[in-house]
Structure 1
C-alpha cells in the first residue's frame, strides 16, 4: 500500500465506518464534540473561510421541535440518537475574515461583497467541512448518520436564521443493534478516475 496512514486508522475512518441507523444510549459528551471540532477545523477551505456552523440538539424540547421536520424515515433515529447536529452554511462568513486574515483585511470585501457569491462560497466550503466533520466523528470512535431528508425551511426557521442555510443533519453516537444496512457498492478506480 502506498498510504502513510496506519491500516487500522484507514479502517476506522473509511473501510469499516458506516452510516449508523440505530444508536446505543451511551451519551456523546461536550468534550468529545470539542475534540472533533478541534481536529477538523484544520481541513482546508477557500481562503480558510470556514463557513460551517453547527447547532447541537441536546435538549428534549429542541428534539421535539426537530423530529417532525425530519423525513418520515429519519424521524425515529433522530428521536433516539444520543446527539443530533445541524450543519449549516453561514452566508455572512465574510464578517469573520478580518480576524482570520489580519494581514489581508480587504479580503472581506474584495471577494465576497455580493450575497450570491457569498452563498455559493459558503455552501461549497461548508459542505466540504461537513465531510471533514463526519470523518472527525469517526476518528472519535463514534458513528455518524448524515441525512439530507428534512424540511430545510422549517429547520432554518426553528434553529437558524436567514443568514444560515441548513446543509445536513447528523445523528451521532455509538451504533446500536442492527445499525447497518448492507453496504452499497462503490465505483471502481477505473469507473471514477480519468487521466488526461
Structure 2
C-alpha cells in the first residue's frame, strides 16, 4: 500500500464514509464542533485565507426557519438531524489577511481590492474549507449530510448578510437506521488522471 494513513482511518474518512440521510438523537456537542474546526483549520487555501463561516443551527425556532428554505426532499432530515451547519463564504475575508499572512500584508489590497476577484476567491477557498470540514466531521466519528438543495437567497436573507454567500447546509450526527442510499459509482483512475 502506498498510503501512510492507517487502513481503518482511510475507511473512516473515505471508503466507508457516506452521506447520512437519517440520524440518531444523540446530540453533537459544542466541544465536538470545536475539535473538528481545530483539526481542519490548517487545510491549505490560497494566501492562508479563511473565508469559510459556519452558522450552527441549534434552536428549534432557527431550525424551523431553516427547514422552510430546504428543498422538499431535504426538509425531514434537516428537521431531525442533531445539528445543522450552514457553511458560507465571507466575501470580506480579505480584511483578516494582514493578520493571517504577515509576510505580505498588502495582499488584501494587491489581490482582493475588487469585489469580483474577492468573491471568486472566497467561494473557491471556502469550498475547500467546507470539504475539509466534512472530512473533520467524519474524523470525529460522526456522519455528515451535505446538501445544496435549498433556497440560497432565502437562507442568506434569513441567517447571513450581503457579505456572505451560502455554499451548503450540512446535517451532522451519528447515523440512524437506513442512513445510507446505495453508493453511486465513481470514475476510475484512468478516466480522471492524465500525464503530460
Q: State how 1:70-81 maps to structure 2 within 5 Å.
A: 70-81=70-81
> Quick one: distance in 1 between partners of 2:90 and 2:77?
26
Query: Could you say which residue in structure 2 is the equivalent of 1:179?
Result: 179
SS of equivalent residue, structure 1 residue 184: coil
Deviation at 1:103, TM superposition (A): 3.4
Instruction: Determine if the alignment matches structure 1 residue 145 to structure 2 residue 145.
Output: yes
Q: CA deviation at 1:134?
A: 0.4
Q: Secondary structure at the match of 1:34?
A: helix
* RMSD between aligned residues: 0.6
Please report how far the alpha carbon of residue 11 of structure 1 lies from its aligned counterpart in structure 2 after TM superposition.
Answer: 0.3
Q: Partner of 1:145: helix, strand, or coil?
A: strand
Query: Deviation of residue 194 (structure 1)?
Result: 1.1
How many angstroms does 1:109 deviate by?
0.5
Aligned equivalent of 2:121: 121
Structure 1 window deviating more from structure 2 (101-110 vs 159-168): it is: 101-110
Q: Shift of the alpha carbon at 1:40? A: 0.4
The TM-score normalised by the length of structure 1 is 0.99
What pairs up with 1:1-150 in 2 under 5 angstroms? 1-150=1-150
In the TM superposition, residue 192 of structure 1 has moved relative to its aligned partner by 1.2
**Unaligned residue ranges in structure 1 (runs of 5+):** none
Looking at structure 2, the residues matched to 95 and 61 of structure 1 have their Cα atoms a distance apart, in angstroms, of 32
Aligned-partner SS, 1:177? coil
Could you list the runs of 5+ residues in structure 2 that have no partner in the other structure?
none
- Give deviations 1:122-147, integer Å, cap 9, x for gaps: 00000011100000000000000000
- Distance in 2 (CA, whole Å) between partners of 1:24 and 1:82 is 8
Shift of 1:104: 2.2
SS for the counterpart of 1:69 is coil
The 4+ residue runs of structure 1 with deviation greater than 3 A are none
Closer/same/farther in 2, CA of residues 76 and 113 from structure 1, 3 Å limit? same
TM-score under structure 2 normalisation? Answer: 0.99
Residue 137 of structure 2 aligns to a residue whose secondary structure is helix
Q: What SS does structure 2 have at the residue aligned with 1:194? A: coil
Q: Which residue number corresponds to residue 161 of structure 1?
A: 161
| Distance (Å, rounded) in 2 between the aligned partners of 1:98 and 1:59 | 35
User: Bigger CA drift: 92-101 or 137-146?
Assistant: 92-101
